[in-house]
């Protein structure tokens, strides 16, 4: 089966064979595993000092028939700071989880392993599956992309696209490819719900097209100025690029050389 290769004006200039990768079955389970694995490698390990909340002289006073017994004193029997000096600390409870300044009941452990491992063959199969999903118009529309005006999927463009150096030229190219509605969708941003607003991520930006190239001749800098649009080299391709949030079917644009290289990289 052959598909068209378009120039920067959106006109077909030649035909090219479509790789067998795009005939593969879409495996959502493998895609999710691969995405979670790559996300887990970015988690910074956290943990508490094993002695946090335990550095206190507080001790238990709840014994019966004991000199400092608390039986019948209308006080909870838990470890308390003994003595009368200073007054504000006299008989204050400490150490146990329910007290002020006490230890945590189940603190995060330093020794916890956060990284989720995945087999090499599974990881490769996940990328192939995610690539196949980019040619499925139903899955691409399900992700929210506006592709009704697009001539074909997958989109393959001449290598001249790698020489674009200005953002306005990239936007003009996307319009000529029938992605004007997609550009409008990418401009919509919503205020995030929850505490993330106070942590430097106020807005939720929608994911736009992914551009896959073989060589950077100025295009990477031009694309990075478009919110929501991503670019990567074919040798650095990951499942997370093709299926953000483990949801397959991202709108993807290939340069001709990158499209031809798929067969050699993912046999």
| SS3 sequence of the chain | CEEEEECCCCCEEEEEECCHHHHCCCCHHHHHHHHHHHHHCCCCCCCCCCCCCCCCCCECCCCCCCCCCCCCCCCCCCCECCCCCCHHHCCCECCCCCCCCCCCCCCCCCCCCCCCCCCHHHHHHHHHHHHHHCCCHHHHHHCCCCCCCCCCCCEEECHHHHHCCCHHHHHHHHHHCCCHHHHHHHHCEEECCCHHHHHCCCEEECCCCEEEECCCCCHHHHHCCCCCCEEEEHHHCCHHHHCHHHCCCCCEEEEHHHHHHHHHHCC
Which structure tokens are listed for 211?
Answer: 């551009």
- 101 domain-assigned: no
pLDDT digits (tens, 9 = 90+) for 8-26: 999 999 999 999 999 999 9
pLDDT in tens, 163-201: 999 999 999 999 999 999 999 999 999 999 999 999 999
Structure tokens at 263: 């067969």
For residue 141, how far is the Cα from the chain centroid? 20
- φ/ψ of 218, rounded to 5, equals 120, -10
Task: Give the integer Cα–Cα distance in Å for 191 and 176.
Answer: 31
Domains: count for the chain = 1
The predicted structure's pLDDT at residue 104: 94
Confidence at residue 85, expressed as pLDDT on a 0 to 100 scale: 65
Whether residue 80 lies inside any domain: the answer is: no
- According to DSSP, the residues that pair with 93 across neighbouring strands are 80
233 φ/ψ sector (left φ>0, alpha ψ -120 to 50, else beta): beta
Residue 152 in any domain: the answer is yes
Q: What is the predicted pLDDT for the residue at 83? A: 74
- Answer whether residue 211 is part of any domain: yes
Contacts for 129 with CB less than 8 Å, ≥ 6 apart: 24, 25, 26, 27, 30, 31, 248
The answer to whether position 206 is within a domain reads yes
- Classify residue 253: in a domain, yes or no: yes
Residue 232 domain-assigned? yes
Q: State the CATH number of the domain containing residue 220.
A: 3.40.1370.10
243 is a domain residue:
yes
Residues of the chain with pLDDT under 70: 84-85
**pLDDT given at position 86:** 77
Give the residue numbers spanning the domain of 185. 2-29+119-265
């Amino acid at each position: 089966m052959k598909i068209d290769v378009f120039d920067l004006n959106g006109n077909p200039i030649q035909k090219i064979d479509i790789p067998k990768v795009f005939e593969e079955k879409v495996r959502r389970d493998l895609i999710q595993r691969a995405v979670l694995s790559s996300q887990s490698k970015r988690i910074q390990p956290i943990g508490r000092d094993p002695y946090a909340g335990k550095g206190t002289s507080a001790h238990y006073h709840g014994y019966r028939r004991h000199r400092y017994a608390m039986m019948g004193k209308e006080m909870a029997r838990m470890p308390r700071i003994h003595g009368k000096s200073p007054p504000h600390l006299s008989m204050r409870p400490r150490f146990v989880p329910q007290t002020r300044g006490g230890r945590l009941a189940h603190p995060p452990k330093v020794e916890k392993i956060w990284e989720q491992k995945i087999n090499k063959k599974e990881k490769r199969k996940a990328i192939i599956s995610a690539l196949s999903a980019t040619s499925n118009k139903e899955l691409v529309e399900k992700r929210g992309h506006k592709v009704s005006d697009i001539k074909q999927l997958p989109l393959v463009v001449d290598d001249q696209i790698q020489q674009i150096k200005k953002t306005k030229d990239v936007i003009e190219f996307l319009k000529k490819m029938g992605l004007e509605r997609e550009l409008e969708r990418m401009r919509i941003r919503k205020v995030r719900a929850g505490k993330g607003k106070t942590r430097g991520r106020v807005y939720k930006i929608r994911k736009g097209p992914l551009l896959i190239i073989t060589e950077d001749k100025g295009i990477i800098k031009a694309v990075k100025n478009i919110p929501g649009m991503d670019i990567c080299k074919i040798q650095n391709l990951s499942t997370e690029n093709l299926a953000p949030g483990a949801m397959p079917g991202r709108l993807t644009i290939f340069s001709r050389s990158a499209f031809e290289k798929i067969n050699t990289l993912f046999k």
